[in-house]
Structure 1
Amino acid sequence: MAAQDFNILLASDSYKITHYKQYPPDISKVYSYFECRSRSEGQFNEVVFFGLQYLLKKYLAGPVVTEDKIQEAKIFYQLHFRQPVFDEEGWRKILEKHDGRLPICIKAIPEGKVIPRGNVLFTVENTDPDFYWLTNYVETMLVQVWYPITVATISREFKKILAKHLKATSGSLEGLDFKMHDFGYRGVSSQESAALGGAAHLVNFCSTDTVAGIQMVRRYYGCPMAGFSIPAAEHSTIISWGKNREKEAFESLLDQFPSGPVSVVSDSYDIFNACKRIWGDELKERVMERSADSTLVIRPDSGDVAETLLQVIKILEDCFGCSLNSMGYKLLPSYLRIIQGDGIDLGSVDEVLKKLRDKGWSAENVFFGCGSTLLQKMNRDTLNCVFKCSYVETNGRGMDVWKQPVTDPSKGSKRGRLSLRRNSNGFLETVERGAGKPEEDLLVTVFENGSILQEYTLEEIRKNAQLWQEDIIPCQHNQDHLQAEQQHIMNAVH
């Protein structure tokens, strides 16, 4: 469906179309909120808020209700429910009274902010008492922000791990933004998933092959070019030369891309033979002719991730030598690096970098790529994303409301009007029951009555999501341990 043909009346769980009949008589306000529930067994303690601006600009901004869309929805729901439950009069009132613009107000934390789980991320309420039912009608659309939030959160967790090892083994974070490459385009469910997920990764990194994500950031977040890539081989461009001409395939890539970095998948047959005999012998002089600006990036793509990488880097050391950086860790020549894109997840990246460090190698030597684990292997329950009603007004009187299931206390919801503040200890906390002070509230009005009131650029979002010192070095004890470990390895390699 083209964007101009999108019908907001058909963009919700169908049962919601009947809710205007279910609220109490004389209700005039419904106020709801979105959060990532806190769970003791959860893998992630904090989340990166991202993606709401895209949903608002693409689907909710401007006059989204028309007579044609009302008639389309009327026919659809008659067929769907087999009884007349569609609120034709209510939707036409939005058209006539508000020019087809949705009379709701949305307040949200700034995009890119890193927020502990269990806190309010945005709130929604109707601005016209006639349309109390609209608040939770838009839940279906808005809750889909769970996906870019989850991708941005996982991507940032990758960044924490990479930053920790890079800092420990090189003394700086230079090049961190290019250490994790998005290979996920083909592994997601749709073009829009690729766009949203790819954009969410670009909150944390600048390295990607997911063009849809770059395009989305250009259109909705004001960044002309957010992600970068390099020429790279795939197995088809290698094996099409035939098994006996693997050396010619490799050499052709060096000829075709004499300047600038190039990535060559080298495990079509035997990764160890390719590194030792072809790259490290037959094409050794060609490789050594390249510079730090024209790096050859060798890509293993099968086998046990850690063991394969350790063998590959040892072979390359034997063939090309290495030097020691300022921290005393080994570094391949600047014209040679490795990228691992197979079997990558948060656990394997940490394991690989630990094993490399144990052998005296700097994290500078290796780049990583991630596909479906980055963009697809997740769902709404990964971060327990929910949208709940917490306040209503009936007959002019406000009332805090909540759910509290006896069978699962963890599903209890918040009460009343909410705000987010930083308390006297510096920690973010949600204030319930309307008790928050407006001047302390970190929630910003981003949407009201069909208009976008606040927009964020990718530059602003990246700044909001940047790593903190404690993300890289959690505590002094860990730093002391790292320093002792570094000294041990320096003594070993010397």
Structure 2
Amino acid sequence: MTNLILATDSYKHSHFLQYPPEARIISAYAEARKGGIAEEAVFFGLQPFLIDYLGKPVTRADIDEAEAILSAHGVPFNRAGWEAIVTDHGGFLPLEITALPEGTLVPTGVPMLQIRNTDPRMPWLTTFVETALLRAVWYPTTVATISREVRQVIASGLQKTSEEPDAQLPFKLHDFGARGVSSGESAALGGMAHLVNFSGTDTLEGIMAARRYYGAEMPGFSIPAAEHSTITSWGRERETQAYANMIETFGGIVAVVSDSYDLTHAVNAIWGGELKDRVLAHEGTLVARPDSGDPVDVPIRVIEDLWRHFGGSVNAKGYRVLDPHVRVIQGDGMTPATIAQLVEELIAAGYAIDNIAFGMGGGLLQKVNRDSLRFALKANAMQDAGGQWHDVSKRPATDPTKGSKAGVQAVVMKDGRMTAVRADESDPADDLLQPVWRDGELLVRHSFDEVRARANG
């Protein structure tokens, strides 16, 4: 899985024989097309691809392996082209990539990056890397975009109901998605993408990716928390002791799943009854966690029950805030839609969003695909042997929304909005697409703090 020559679709290997004989340079761009789940996308994830994939030179052993595989597979193999890459370029693909700064909020329909070959003998190389490049970018960009959409919903609720919205916001959506994704690499890229917007996570791969690729110190945090196995191992007859062990063992904030048997009994008879005094004496906060039932009605009911037992205060904005010893987290069944509904109904019931945190798992990291934001990478221009550029584009009559841009692109600010224009009709000094990679060299390295600042500025 580490041979870059094989990190593509099979049919790409026949394309070196398909371009016009005059072709020397092919330009292509990647964008989230209009009509997806959001009107703006958080561009993120190119840097890991550059470091891990394009930053690793192709070897003659890779060429030998690819030739053997592809010959048996039934498609042509461009051995001469790949040998030229090893001999003349040290194994690094002769490509140039220009891109917007990572973390940029990009309107759909605006290119996030543009790529071209730098060796005129290899016009086939630009779109050869489409599979790996697009896969590297669409997934973390989509997760970061969904996470940001949820951030906006929660931020709006906090602004309306909380006295300290900015301090709370970074920890209001927690990533529980590591077990629900297809691979460890997905957990790393998706978990890291969530951390662009929030600081709460249980996906350690995401933390390690942010540290490795973007130089983050510690971008995410978690707390001690119970799971069903640690509660049910005590047996139902010792449920109270299991809960007591949690608040006696851990200071600070501790989350305890409370519906292994009967959530109503746990909240009212145990937390609000037998253990009430211990909860109030605890030097920290008990976060009760429902994990079943209706994802909107159940957490509201728990908050109402906790209010009845522990009370709280009415803040300056007129909303009820639970006693600081108790809070709720809802992770089961959380999607952007159910989070928005839960925020709305809590506000309608007179409760501040201070009282609850949200968690997402597969809904954040796995229930996405390339079509969520309608990602595509398309060729847009071809330079011939005389140095003349020719427009390249498609215009399918059966679906005009899949039409592509013609001509080398630039991205400029126009009337305060990021806009795609033809490069030959704009001032190069205004182009926001800047070189980030050329012929094996990383030209720009973004820090995680910079990415976060752009995404949430």
Class of the TM-score when normalised by the shorter of the 2 chains:
over 0.9
Q: In structure 2, how many angstroms separate the alpha carbons of the residues matched to 1:325 and 1:54?
A: 44
Q: CA-to-partner distance for each residue in 1:225-261, whole Å, 9 max, x for gaps?
A: 111000000001111111111101000111211x121
Aligned to 1:126: 117
Is 2:410–2:423's contact at 8 Å kept on the other side of the alignment? no
Q: In structure 1, how many angstroms separate the alpha carbons of the residues matched to 2:359 and 2:214?
A: 24
User: For residues 53-452 of structure 1, what are the structure 2 equivalents within 5 Å?
Assistant: 53-62=47-56, 64-81=57-74, 85-144=76-135, 145-171=137-163, 172-257=165-250, 259-291=251-283, 294-396=284-386, 397-423=388-414, 425-432=415-422, 434-452=424-442
Is 2:23–2:384's contact at 8 Å kept on the other side of the alignment? yes
Q: CA-to-partner distance for each residue in 1:165-186, whole Å, 9 max, x for gaps?
A: 0010014322100000000000
Aligned to 1:472: none
Letter matched to residue 300 of structure 1:
P
Q: Secondary structure in 2 aligned to 1:152?
A: helix
Letter matched to residue 460 of structure 1:
E
Letter matched to residue 66 of structure 2:
A
Is 1:418–1:436's contact at 8 Å kept on the other side of the alignment? no
Deviation at 1:433, TM superposition (A): 5.6
Q: In structure 1, how many angstroms separate the alpha carbons of the residues matched to 2:389 and 2:40?
A: 32
Q: In structure 2, how many angstroms separate the alpha carbons of the residues matched to 1:129 and 1:147?
A: 31
- Aligned CA-pair RMSD: 1.0
Task: Verify: 1:22 aligned to 2:18, yes or no.
Answer: yes
Q: In structure 2, how many angstroms separate the alpha carbons of the residues matched to 1:55 and 1:433?
A: 26
Letter matched to residue 397 of structure 2:
V
Letter matched to residue 58 of structure 1:
D
Q: In structure 2, how many angstroms separate the alpha carbons of the residues matched to 1:412 and 1:52?
A: 24
Structure 1 unmatched ranges of 5 or more: 468-494
Q: Secondary structure in 2 aligned to 1:381?
A: helix
Q: CA-to-partner distance for each residue in 1:353-399, whole Å, 9 max, x for gaps?
A: 11111111000000011000000001100000000000001232210
Q: In structure 2, how many angstroms separate the alpha carbons of the residues matched to 1:306 and 1:214?
A: 30
Deviation at 1:26, TM superposition (A): 2.4
Aligned to 1:477: none
Aligned to 2:444: 454
Is 1:120–1:430's contact at 8 Å kept on the other side of the alignment? yes
Q: In structure 2, how many angstroms separate the alpha carbons of the residues matched to 1:416 and 1:155?
A: 33
The size of the alignment, in residue pairs, is: 454
Q: In structure 2, how many angstroms separate the alpha carbons of the residues matched to 1:406 and 1:131?
A: 31
Deviation at 1:432, TM superposition (A): 2.2
Q: CA-to-partner distance for each residue in 1:286-327, whole Å, 9 max, x for gaps?
A: 100124xx2111001111122112211111111111101121
Is 1:185–1:371's contact at 8 Å kept on the other side of the alignment? yes
Is 1:400–1:433's contact at 8 Å kept on the other side of the alignment? no
Aligned to 1:474: none
Q: In structure 2, how many angstroms separate the alpha carbons of the residues matched to 1:73 and 1:37?
A: 33
Aligned to 1:476: none
Q: CA-to-partner distance for each residue in 1:421-469, whole Å, 9 max, x for gaps?
A: 111x2011000263221111111111100111001111000000005xx
Equivalent residue for 1:48, pick from 33, 42, 51: 42
Q: In structure 1, how many angstroms separate the alpha carbons of the residues matched to 2:426 and 2:379?
A: 18
Letter matched to residue 13 of structure 1:
D
Q: Secondary structure in 1 aligned to 2:14?
A: helix
Deviation at 1:224, TM superposition (A): 2.1
Structure 2 unmatched ranges of 5 or more: none
Q: In structure 2, how many angstroms separate the alpha carbons of the residues matched to 1:270 and 1:212?
A: 34
Letter matched to residue 277 of structure 1:
A
Letter matched to residue 345 of structure 2:
K
Q: CA-to-partner distance for each residue in 1:100-126, whole Å, 9 max, x for gaps?
A: 111110000000000110001100001
Letter matched to residue 55 of structure 1:
F
Q: Which moved more, 1:306-315 or 1:411-420?
A: 306-315
Letter matched to residue 77 of structure 1:
L
Q: Secondary structure in 2 aligned to 1:236?
A: helix
Q: In structure 2, how many angstroms separate the alpha carbons of the residues matched to 1:386 and 1:165?
A: 34
Could you list the runs of 4 or more consecutive aligned residues of structure 1 that deviate by over 6 angstroms after TM superposition?
Answer: none
Q: In structure 2, how many angstroms separate the alpha carbons of the residues matched to 1:434 and 1:175?
A: 47
Is 2:412–2:420's contact at 8 Å kept on the other side of the alignment? yes
Q: Secondary structure in 1 aligned to 2:27?
A: strand
Is 1:415–1:433's contact at 8 Å kept on the other side of the alignment? no
> TM-score, normalization: structure 1?
0.91
Is 2:247–2:282's contact at 8 Å kept on the other side of the alignment? no
Aligned to 1:32: 28
Q: In structure 1, how many angstroms separate the alpha carbons of the residues matched to 2:252 and 2:306?
A: 20
Change (3 A) 1:143 1:203: same
Aligned to 2:3: 7
Q: Secondary structure in 2 aligned to 1:369?
A: strand
Q: In structure 1, how many angstroms separate the alpha carbons of the residues matched to 2:51 and 2:28?
A: 20
Q: In structure 2, how many angstroms separate the alpha carbons of the residues matched to 1:433 and 1:422?
A: 13
Letter matched to residue 232 of structure 1:
A
Q: CA-to-partner distance for each residue in 1:117-143, whole Å, 9 max, x for gaps?
A: 000110000111011111000111100
Q: Which moved more, 1:135-144 or 1:433-442?
A: 433-442
Deviation at 1:406, TM superposition (A): 1.0
Letter matched to residue 4 of structure 2:
I
Q: In structure 2, how many angstroms separate the alpha carbons of the residues matched to 1:99 and 1:316?
A: 65
